[in-house]
């Protein structure tokens, strides 16, 4: 099978936005779509499970220059469709942007503004389940077994019990949560409905879909047809699945272009944070127990992820993250250690695949699990920003944009020992060598296998300004990362 992924993703640096918490524009006319008398929690107040702080699309549009300055050229939005939840993973209407965000008209304006700046926009598709407020499910509540939508869901007995506190729902729901009824995707009408959602928003101009829990629609044919229809509208549409583990089944070229690469994230934790990692924050969620890794173990894991598991086209389209809306903030897991964060960003920006920055990680935002990992971006408190971290991230993104090898090149481990991991990205005559030493002791290694010609050190991390060549002995200061490159003119 011919495996192809959207070419633009290889050059993308994504920024993930949780819409209620990134930016609010109180002057936005489109906010009137929500009606009069709307009252939000104070921006920046302690996040709660059900509270809204009023982030909207107009607010994101106001901050597009901030994103461009950082080096961002793609946005992944958490859900934006009409919903009674601040996370919007339970949609009332898959064809309407939430009025609190600005409605469909507000989204059209935002999308045009983003595209004018060269920023692609990927939406979150939640097709496994919906909300109790979706028209078809509400019809069941009102009409019972005689509803024409009775076969749209998995109802085990009638009448539907959706709102009785303390009682389990008598229909299939995601993780048994009554507010998340699961679609019956064996029903041809449901399949057509969900496929039509996918194509509708692509026709409206979005650049792809991030798919929520797609493995829970355990049906290859469903996703194969979803891909066929989406690619028929836009062959360059990016389709990336939330898959926390090895995902060969879905990444053969006939379903998804990539996965959210939590395997890479776990490897970063195991090597760069190591025994300082608070496993109580990971064991109860998708990360699970994280294996501690030395330099050799980290090298083996990177080689497995980037050279052994998938077709090279899939590898270059993987969405590489340090965290997301579902996880504790990286800075919290790293005990707010700036050096560890800088090393993590250095690695993220130099391995194969598209980096994805969870909003605020570039300024060192902290937060444990939901809802604390979903705090409002502190536009109101710039003194709280880790500006040095943001500057480092900005420099690393600029390096990635300058280097075709970092965006599209092959990946090779050059050396690994107990503390150090050294790898190379190469494309044609262009080479980039990255060395990591997260330990508290200096290390040395002899550069080997990096090809002919000198490599100049790039101005990132603990750069010492050396030019090196194959066969040369290199010193790594404690807790440092170094990058050398031979960049094409």
Say how many C-beta atoms besides its own lie within 10 A of residue 355's C-beta.
28
Place of tokens 């509270």: 51
Say what angle helices 188-203 and 220-233 make with each other, to 10 degrees: 30
Per DSSP, helices labelled H in 117-161 are 135-143
The pLDDT, as a whole number, for residue 424 is: 96
Q: Residue 161 half-sphere exposure, CB side, CA atoms within 13 Å?
A: 11
Q: What is the pLDDT of residue 488?
A: 57
Angle value at C-alpha 200, between 196 and 201, nearest 5 degrees: 130
- Give me the mean pLDDT over the 187-206 stretch: 98
Tens-place pLDDT, residues 90-110: 999 999 999 999 999 999 999
Give, as one character, the DSSP assignment of residue 31.
G
The whole-angstrom separation of Cα 208 and Cα 199 is 10
Burial status of residue 428 (CB atoms within 10 A of its CB: 0-12, 13-18, 19 or more): exposed
Tell me which fold the domain 7-405 belongs to: TIM Barrel (3.20.20)
State the pLDDT at residue 489.
53
State in words which class domain 406-486 has.
mainly beta
Are 324 and 359 a contacting pair, CB within 8 Å?
no
Tell me where in the chain the CATH 3.20.20.80 domain(s) lie.
7-405
Which residue has better confidence, 26 or 106?
106
What confidence score (pLDDT) does residue 32 get?
A: 54
Six-digit token string for 322: 């340090």
Between strands 74-77 and 120-125, the pairing is: parallel
| Residue 30 scores a pLDDT above 60 | no
Angle of CA points 145, 151, 152, to nearest 5°: 115
Residue 62 reports pLDDT greater than 90: yes
Residue pLDDT, tens place only, 400-424: 999 999 999 999 999 999 999 999 9
Q: What pLDDT is attached to residue 37?
A: 80
Predicted local distance difference test score (pLDDT) of residue 470: 83
Mean of per-residue pLDDT scores for the chain:
94
pLDDT score at 464: 64
Q: What is the pTM of this model?
A: 0.96
Q: pLDDT exceeding 70 applies to what percent of the chain? A: 96
Q: What's the whole-number mean pLDDT along residues 72-84?
A: 98
Q: Among all residues, which ones are annotated catalytic?
A: 212, 242
pLDDT class for 34, splitting at 50, 70, 90?
A: low
Where in the chain is CATH 2.60.40.1180?
Answer: 406-486
């Amino acid at each position: 099978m011919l495996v192809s992924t959207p070419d633009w993703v290889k050059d993308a640096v994504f920024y993930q936005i949780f819409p209620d918490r990134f930016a609010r524009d109180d002057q936005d006319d489109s906010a009137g779509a929500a009606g009069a008398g709307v009252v939000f929690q104070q921006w920046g107040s302690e996040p709660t499970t059900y509270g809204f702080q009023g982030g909207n699309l107009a607010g994101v549009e106001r901050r597009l220059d901030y994103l461009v300055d950082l080096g961002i050229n793609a946005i992944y939005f958490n859900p934006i469709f009409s919903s009674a939840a601040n996370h919007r993973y339970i949609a009332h209407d898959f064809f309407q942007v939430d009025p609190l965000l600005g409605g469909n008209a507000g989204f059209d304006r935002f999308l045009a503004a983003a595209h004018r700046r060269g920023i692609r926009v990927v939406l979150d598709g939640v097709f496994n389940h919906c909300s109790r407020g979706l028209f078809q499910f509400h019809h069941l509540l009102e009409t019972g077994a005689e509803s024409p939508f009775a076969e749209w869901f998995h109802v085990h007995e009638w009448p539907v019990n959706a709102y009785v506190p303390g009682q389990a729902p008598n229909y299939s729901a995601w993780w048994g949560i009554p507010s998340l009824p699961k679609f019956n995707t064996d029903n041809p009408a449901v399949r057509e409905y969900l496929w039509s959602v996918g194509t509708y928003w692509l026709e409206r101009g979005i650049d792809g879909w991030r798919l929520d829990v797609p493995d829970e629609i355990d049906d290859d044919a469903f996703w194969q047809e979803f891909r066929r229809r989406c690619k028929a509208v836009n062959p360059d549409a990016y389709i990336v699945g939330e898959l926390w583990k090895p995902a060969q089944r879905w990444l053969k070229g006939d379903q998804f272009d990539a996965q959210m690469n939590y395997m890479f994230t776990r490897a970063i934790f195991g090597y760069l944070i190591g025994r300082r990692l608070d496993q109580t924050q990971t064991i109860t969620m998708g990360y699970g127990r994280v294996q501690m890794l030395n330099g050799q173990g980290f090298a083996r894991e990177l080689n497995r992820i980037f050279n052994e598991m998938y077709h090279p086209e899939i590898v270059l389209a993987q969405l590489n993250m340090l965290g997301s809306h579902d996880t504790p903030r990286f800075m919290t897991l790293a005990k707010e250690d700036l050096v560890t964060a800088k090393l993590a960003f250095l690695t993220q920006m130099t391995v194969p695949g598209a980096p994805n920055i969870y909003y605020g990680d570039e300024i060192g935002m902290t937060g444990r699990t939901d809802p604390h990992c979903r705090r409002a971006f502190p536009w109101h408190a710039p003194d709280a920003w880790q500006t040095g971290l943001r500057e480092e991230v900005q420099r690393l993104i600029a390096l990635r944009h300058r280097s075709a090898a970092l965006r599209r090149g092959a990946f090779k481990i050059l050396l690994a020992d107990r503390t150090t991991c050294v790898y190379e990205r190469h494309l044609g005559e262009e080479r980039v060598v990255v060395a990591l030493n997260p330990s508290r002791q200096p290390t040395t290694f002899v550069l080997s296998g990096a090809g002919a010609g000198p490599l100049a050190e790039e101005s990132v991390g603990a750069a010492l300004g050396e030019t090196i060549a194959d066969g040369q002995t290199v010193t790594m200061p404690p807790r440092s990362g170094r990058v050398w490159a031979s960049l094409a003119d």
